[in-house]
Each structure stands twice: as structure tokens, then as C-alpha cells.
Structure 1
Amino acid sequence: MFSVQRSLFLLLLVFFAAPLYAAPARRPSVEDLTIGASAQGRPITALRIGDGPIKLVIVGNTHGAPEANTYALATMLADHFRANPHEVPSAIRLYIIPTINPDGLALGTRFNARGVDLNRNMNTSFDACPDNDWRVTVFGAYGIVSDTGGPYPDSEVESRVLRSFLLDAWGAIFLHSAAGNVFPAFCDHAPSIAMAQTYATGSSYRYMRFWDQYVITGGMHDWAASLGIAAIIPELVTGTEPEFEQNLAGVQAVLAAAEQLLPAPEDRVENGIVVPALLWRFWRMHGGNDLFGPPLAPAVVEHGMTRQIFERAVLEIHPEWADTPYLVQLAPLGRTRTSPAGAAPRNECPPPECRRFTETPYAIQGAFAAFWERHGGLATFGFPLSDEGMAYAADGAWRVQQVFERAVFSLHDDRSVSLEPLGWAFLVRERSLVSAAAHQVR
């Protein structure tokens, strides 16, 4: 009898104690990030909620002070999800950038500190719609025409911060005001259209197929969609109120359907060779064939790093650098090259004629400095390892060249600049080390 009572007691103890030992409810991780800095050095920050594979980014306050209500909205959304991270599904990593234009917000202007409209500065020439291609002269607020598209596509540091951060994104929501509608990318992109319709339904804003007041050129949403990222613009009704409840409902609707709405980054085929999605996006957004040439061989994975050889560079994915400008990098092939003849450090060229660095005695100037800056600067090519000097180029011509950590620049007779084919040389060297036939022992 005692044994039966004891067994019953133990059974009841396990039954009532079970909840005390149940696995805790999932609580997604929350992290504050600094993803870059503005032209005047103000930090550009993001809040990350969750660890899932699907990267969804909300971008507030592209247009500075006139759209400060989108900064307020993005901040309120960040506060909400910081307090309620469980609302972010396990498959999602949600990022909220309160302002991509902190200088405009601080200076009381729509533009960045250099007078450029950041939502007219992106390289939108990748899609099939020429109407939205980047240009200097643009339509702005209320249809006002001005030369505020920037000197060239992606010229602004804030644009480049965003470009790097969205490299691995699946979806992007760019908050603006004021119209009370939601519209997707201009060119037909089914995932963008579906996300815009979902957000509009959730928020009770009006869905529009595109902004019908004037053509937006160089827009962030069009740039993103051209790389396969689902991208939309919700326009708040007013220019003063954050309209938090409506937009929270819109975001929640997208989160609930994200696995069906948002497309994974997609591998592409170039030159008959498969290019992994993130390498393709980087290659494409930095100039594609024109800058790096075509892929020469399939990608390989070594020690967790994906690497692929292109004609003028070797591109590498470094997962440990996610959410930074260095997720995809050029391999440092310039370090394997000897300096051009007569390329000892020169000190007779002061700023601003030369751009100098504390990390190296060498400087850049003229056509090389312009090319270096336009195509990504330090993040793309690294520091100079020589001054300019004469050397034989790969085509046999005797040219002015300069060696950088990740590239070698060559100057042509028409003053244009191109990269030497370091990727091709790397491939030849790599294959020369592989025996074509098995060794025979005699």
C-alpha cells in the first residue's frame, strides 16, 4: 500500500512540477549596430531583432528634416520591437535604421550635407526600365526640378552605407511622407508588388502601382528591386505625424507573410558560369563586366569562405563580416605585385592635389584618385602600395600604373582607367600548380 501511495505522490509531483522545467519561450536576440557614418561623421545606426535567415530592413528618414516624422516612426517601431521581440518570427532578422540621412535631419534640409537627394542617387540602370535611370537633374518634392541627383550614381557615403548593408537583404521598406499610399519598385517586380499590397492592406493606406506625380530616378526602392530585393515605399498621410499604429500594422502584416513574400537572394549565370547570389550582387552593383570582367571559373568554398575568380579580381564572401561593408571583398592580389618602375614614395604632392593616408606613404591623385573614389574607394581597393609609375600592362602596352592592396590601376591614352587582369593571372598561376597528370614512379 505504501508503495502505491509513494508512486502516486511521485507521479503528481512530476505533473505539477513539469511547467517549472519547461523550455523557456523563444526570445529573439536584440542588438544595436552602427553601420556607417554620414558625410559629416554622424553615426548611422540600426537595431537588429532576431536571428533568422530572412533579412528585412526598414529604412527611415531618407529626406532629413522635411520628413522627420519618418524618423519618429522608425524610432517608435524600434522601441516597440525592442520591447516585443517575440513578435518577429523565428525565420526573420528585422533591422530598423531610424535615419539614413542624419546630416539632413540635423541641418534642417531634405538633402545630405553635400546637397544631394539620397533617394535620387542610387544606380538604377540595372533594371529594364530606362525611365527611372539615375541622372543629375531630378524631380524632387512637389515636382521641383533641380540638379540634386549627385555627380554620379552612388556618389554619396550614405548611399554606399545603404548599398553595403542591403547586399544580403531579402526585403526593404523605405519610409517617406506625405501622400497616404504604398507603392513598389517602378519596374515590374512581383515580390515588390506583393509586399506593397500586403503593407497597404495592413496599414489601410492606398496601394498604388507606382508614384504617379513624376518619375523618380535613382530611387532606393528601384535600385533594390533591380538586385532581386523586394522593395516598397510607404508614404505617410501627413508630413508631421508618425502614424505609428497604421505602420506597425503594415509591418506586422509583412512579417506574418514574409516567408511567402520575400525572395531569397538568387544565384545568377554570367558568361555561362553560375555566380553565387551575394557575389553576383556585389559584382553587379560595382560595375559588373565593365569593372571586374566576367567570371572565369565556378565558385569554390574553402574554410567557410566562398571565392570566385573574375577576369580582373577575385571576389570573396566573408560571413564573419555580415552587416558591414566587408561581407564581400576583393582578394588582396595587389599585395603580390611589384611596384611600377620609379614608384618610390613621393612627398612633393600635398593635399588636396593628392589624397594621403596615415597608413601608407603613398598617395593617389588625378584620374586614379577619381576612379578609386567612384568605384568604392578604400572598402573596394584598399590602400595604395605604390605611387604612379611606368610598367608593362597585360596587353603589352607601356602604361602608367599604380598598385593597390586589391587591384592594379592602368591609365590609357584617353585618360580612362581600368583594372589589370589580376584574376586571370591568379587563375593561370593556380592552374599551373596543379599537375595535369598523375606522377609516375619508374
Structure 2
Amino acid sequence: MATAIAATLAAQPTATPDWAATSTAQAHEVATAIAATLTAQPTSTPNLAATSTAQAYEVATAIAATLTAQPTVTPNLAATQSAQRWVLQTAVAATLTAQPPPAATATATAMPQVSRLQVIGTSAAGRPIEVVEIGNGDRRIIFVGGLHAGSAPSTAALAQQAADYFRSHSAAVPDAVKLAVVLNANPDAVRAPGKLEGRLNAAGVDLNRNWDCEWQAQAKWRDHTVSGGSAPFSEMETQALLNYITGGGAVAVIFWEAKMETGQVSAGGCGERSLVSQPLADIYGGATGYTVDPWAWYPVNGDAANSLDKRGIPAASVLLRDYEDTDWPLNLRGILAVMEAYAR
């Protein structure tokens, strides 16, 4: 650009010019040279790539202002050319430096990530079950919070935290992925951290005992007997989740639960081994540092992740380290790792 300006100035007549006429003519010629130079720049140079016709106009305006501000006395042209060259270069550099970064140019070919909130069903008491979806891809990765929202409020809080974060940082969602976050799968649950009553829906059913892997009407949680419902998927909440998950495109499902002091990730598996879910558990556990182990404390009937694994959908249960704290930095790593792995 400096070369083009110098060439333009050098081309001026050696005779003493009429300054007013020269100012206008020079501004036009210099602006034309600058516009041609900028247009020819490679797009990999950020400042020049951002330069447009509007920018060239701004540069021309700055040059014109500089030229018309010169003294009206007849100048010494040889000295003036050198001084003008410096003034013009300075004006051009200042104008270009002030331009905003070329965000529109850089993202011109990328489709903006879409964020939407939808209701996928209602609870036994008629409360909405909401899902936030972020992204345009056809590979749905689903994170479920609040299956035992009252007993483990950290899981619903983590779901809300994840939804808020990725709505604000949607570029972190890979193009091939649609990130789906179920905010609270059990909105009827009463708040009772770590206690049985916080696990149940308004009908008194433990929703993680109401799925169709080794289902029983009377199931266990620790030393307690809990209701698994009148049949698999007897509850409106589990029906809504199943329909949403199996509705198409689900490549991985994580259920956030609590708690295990070290954090634990267990692959879904209806029977002696997991069919498709162990890689998912390994990825999430590796990213978070949580222990990756099968559940072995007592028999579990009607579990959600186990039910999905037998359908060929990778699923895992993640036991957070606290009933109320979300352990956000670690779980953010887990979410990102799963999206990266299952985007392919």
C-alpha cells in the first residue's frame, strides 16, 4: 500500500501545483490506488481481508481531510511529497487499524448454531419436561439432568448450567452434533438431598426403576424398597424420555445422578456386559477423572442406561461427587470430550 501511495505521489508534476486542485485530484488517485491494492490482498491477511469498499471510502476520507488541511501557501513540492507520503501512510495505517476484526468474513460459510427450548412431555403432576437443543447437526448427544431431582439437585443444576453455557458458547458444539440437555426429568420431586423421597415422582415411583431392563414392580435403592411402577414405562416421565431419545439420531446419552465421593461412570448394560456403551463411559470418565466401573453394590432393576444399551444406544450413568455441587469444570470437560468423540 505504501508503494502505491509513493508511486501516485511521485507521478505528480514537478511544476508548482495549484494546491486546491491537486488536493482533490491526489485524494482521488491515491484512494483509487489504495482500493486496488487492498482488493488484491490475500484473504489470509486479517486486516486487509476485512477491508471493503466502505473501508476504502473511509481511507479516502481520511486522506482528503489530511490534504485539504495543508497550508494554502505554495509548497516546496519535493519536500512536500516526502512529508505527504508520511502523512498519508500514517492516515491509512490509523484508519485500517481502527477497523473491527473481520468476523463476518471469517464465518461467512458457517451456518449459525441454533438454540431452541422444547417441551417433550409432562410429569405426573402436569409439569413440563423441557429440553434445550443447541446445534444444527444430525448426531444427537443427550444429557439428562434431574432423574432424581429432589434427592440429587446437583444433577438438575448441572443440566441448567450446561444449557446456559452452550447457548452462550454455541461454537463449541461441533457442526455434526445437536447437543440436547434435559433440564429436569423429574420436576415433581420434592427437594430432599440424599433421601429416598427426593427420588420419587408425584405418583411415588422411582423413575430410574421404571425402564424395561430386568424391570420389577418392587425394586431396590440402597436398603430401601422402591416402586418401579405398575409396568415398564408406566410413568409419563419415562415415556417422554424414551420417545425423545429413540425419536432419531441419538448417538450417546448420559444420565447425571448422585452421589459417589470419587465420582463414578458406569456403562449401560442389560445383562452381564455392555453391548455398545463402554467406550462412552471410558471417554467421560477419562475427561473428568471419575472412576469408570460397573455398578456392583446391589442389583438394579429398571435402569435407564441399561435399557438404552440393549437397544443399541450408547448410554452411561454418571454419579456426581455431591448431591448439591455440580462439579462444573470437570463435567464441562466430560461434555466436550463426548461431543468431540461422537461427532465423527
Q: Same fold (TM over 0.5)?
A: yes
| 2:126 aligned with 1:41 | yes
| 2:339 aligned with 1:255 | yes
What SS is found at the alignment partner of 1:171? Answer: strand
Deviation at 1:106, TM superposition (A): 6.1
Query: Percent of aligned positions with the same letter in both sequences?
Result: 29
User: Which of 198, 218, 236 in structure 1 is aligned with 2:283?
Assistant: 198
What SS is found at the alignment partner of 1:104? Answer: coil
Segments of structure 1 that go 5 or more residues without pairing to the other structure are: 125-132, 261-442
Describe the superposition over 1:92-125 as per-residue Cα deviations: whole angstroms up to 9, x where unpaired: 001101110000146962101111110000112x
Separation in 2 of the partners of 1:204 and 1:120? 27
Alpha carbons of 1:200 and 1:11: their partners in 2 closer, same or farther (altered >3 Å)? same
Separation in 1 of the partners of 2:289 and 2:111? 31
Separation in 2 of the partners of 1:257 and 1:190? 18
Separation in 2 of the partners of 1:116 and 1:144? 16
Q: Which amino acid aligns with 2:310?
A: S
Contact 1:66 1:110 in 2 (8 A): yes
Deviation at 1:244, TM superposition (A): 0.9
Deviation at 1:237, TM superposition (A): 1.1
Higher RCO (C-alpha under 8 Å, 6+ residues apart): 2
| 2:330 aligned with 1:246 | yes
Deviation at 1:238, TM superposition (A): 1.7
Aligned residue for 1:220?
Answer: 304
Q: How do residues 20-99 of structure 1 correspond to structure 2 at under 5 angstroms?
A: 20=102, 22=105, 23-24=107-108, 26-99=111-184
Alpha carbons of 1:99 and 1:6: their partners in 2 closer, same or farther (altered >3 Å)? closer
Deviation at 1:259, TM superposition (A): 3.1
Separation in 1 of the partners of 2:231 and 2:224? 17
Separation in 1 of the partners of 2:191 and 2:152? 12
Segments of structure 2 that go 5 or more residues without pairing to the other structure are: 1-6, 12-28, 42-46, 51-101
Aligned residue for 1:164?
Answer: 243
TM-score if structure 1 supplies the norm length?
Answer: 0.53
Larger Rg: 2
RMSD, aligned α-carbons: 2.2
Aligned residue for 2:86?
Answer: none
Separation in 1 of the partners of 2:284 and 2:187? 26
Describe the superposition over 1:306-361 as per-residue Cα deviations: whole angstroms up to 9, x where unpaired: xxxxxxxxxxxxxxxxxxxxxxxxxxxxxxxxxxxxxxxxxxxxxxxxxxxxxxxx
Describe the superposition over 1:216-265 as per-residue Cα deviations: whole angstroms up to 9, x where unpaired: 111110111111111001101122211111111111111111134xxxxx
Separation in 1 of the partners of 2:268 and 2:302? 11
TM-score if structure 2 supplies the norm length?
Answer: 0.68
What SS is found at the alignment partner of 2:329? Answer: helix
Separation in 2 of the partners of 1:243 and 1:258? 23
Q: How do residues 205-354 of structure 1 correspond to structure 2 at under 5 angstroms?
A: 205-208=290-293, 210-260=294-344
Contact 1:116 1:150 in 2 (8 A): yes
Contact 1:137 1:145 in 2 (8 A): no
Separation in 2 of the partners of 1:232 and 1:12? 58
User: Which of 175, 197, 200 in structure 2 is aligned with 1:111?
Assistant: 200
Aligned residue for 2:210?
Answer: 121
More strand by share: 1
Deviation at 1:12, TM superposition (A): 2.1
What SS is found at the alignment partner of 1:86? Answer: helix
Q: How do residues 415-430 of structure 1 correspond to structure 2 at under 5 angstroms?
A: none
User: Which of 172, 185, 200 in structure 1 is aligned with 2:268?
Assistant: 185
Deviation at 1:189, TM superposition (A): 3.4
Describe the superposition over 1:56-102 as per-residue Cα deviations: whole angstroms up to 9, x where unpaired: 11000111311111111111111111110111000000110111000
User: Which of 149, 152, 161 in structure 1 is aligned with 2:228?
Assistant: 149
